[in-house]
């Protein structure tokens, strides 16, 4: 059975290609896939779906119901195929969708407020020996590093994230996603990459713990500031 791998940057992007099943329908939902593979109608397939920002992955089986198919997304026509998800796989996809909605509602929007936070990143691939690289932006899905170096987009890099005050000392693997400017800093955007769903869950737990500690300290600092000015 052919496996089609799909990667979406966010839950919102995934939902623009997904149509849920009608209420009371005996079939699953349908998913438009951008592909040039020589698929045929009625062909059974496995769709391996990954949403990077939510750090979730799901594989479901289905059948090709339309190929070739066209879909208008953001004013552009996309060519591909439409897959009807097997009814007995829909429950698995629904669980996946719950995580996607969490991503849309809260997790994707959350970034770590780094004001006054002592955090370093050691990156051996950014210029030879491992050295500290200033962090401009840090979220659950990736990081932006202030550096004049230009590793190739798509290059895999190994980063050690260090924030002693928050119990963070972790090696993560990432993919260079883009070069540019953020908050007037020139640098490189790196998207975190996880080999297994277990690694994703573990990282989500670590990031959430760091954020809880950070939020608590920011609240304590704000309270202390108000008291000192009273």
Q: Where are the domains of the chain?
A: 2-107, 120-229
Q: How is residue 175 written in tokens?
A: 């993919």
* Model pTM above 0.85: no
Q: Is 180 exposed, middle or buried (0-12, 13-18, 19+ CB in 10 A)?
A: exposed
CATH T-level assignment (fold) for domain 2-107: Thrombin, subunit H (2.40.10)
> Same topology for domains 2-107 and 120-229, yes or no?
yes
Q: What percent of the chain has pLDDT over 90?
A: 10
Tokens 């963070």, residue located: 168
pLDDT at 82: 92
Element (H, E) at 35: none
Q: What is the pLDDT of residues 177-202, one digit of tens each?
A: 888 877 678 888 888 888 877 787 78
Under 8 Å CB-to-CB from 43, ≥6 apart: which residues? 2, 63, 64
Q: What is the pLDDT of residues 96-146, one digit of tens each?
A: 877 766 555 444 344 555 545 567 788 776 655 566 777 777 877 788 888
Among 3.40.50.300, 2.60.40.10, 2.40.10.220, 3.30.420.40, what is the CATH number of 120-229? 2.40.10.220
Q: How is residue 226 written in tokens?
A: 């108000």
């Amino acid at each position: 059975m052919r496996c089609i791998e799909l990667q979406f940057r966010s839950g919102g992007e995934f939902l623009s290609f997904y149509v849920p099943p009608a209420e009371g329908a005996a079939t699953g939902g349908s998913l438009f896939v951008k592909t040039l593979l020589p698929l045929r109608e009625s062909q059974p397939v496995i769709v391996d779906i990954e949403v990077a920002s939510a750090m979730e992955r799901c594989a479901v089986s289905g059948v090709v119901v339309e190929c070739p198919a066209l879909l208008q997304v953001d004013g552009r026509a996309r060519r591909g195929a439409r897959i009807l998800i097997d009814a007995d796989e829909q429950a698995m996809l629904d669980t996946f969708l719950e995580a996607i909605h969490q991503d849309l509602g809260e997790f994707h929007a959350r970034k770590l407020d780094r004001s006054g936070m002592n955090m370093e990143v050691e990156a051996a691939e950014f210029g030879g020996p491992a050295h500290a690289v200033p962090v401009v932006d840090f979220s659950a899905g990736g990081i932006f590093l202030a550096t004049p170096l230009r590793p190739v987009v798509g290059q895999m890099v190994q980063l050690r994230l260090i924030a002693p005050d928050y119990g963070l000392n972790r090696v993560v693997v990432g993919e260079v996603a883009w070069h540019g400017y953020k908050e007037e800093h020139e640098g490189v955007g790196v998207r975190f990459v996880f080999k297994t769903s277990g690694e994703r869950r573990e990282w989500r737990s670590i990031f959430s713990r760091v954020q809880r500690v950070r939020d608590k300290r920011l609240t304590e600092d704000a309270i202390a500031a108000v008291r000192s000015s009273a």
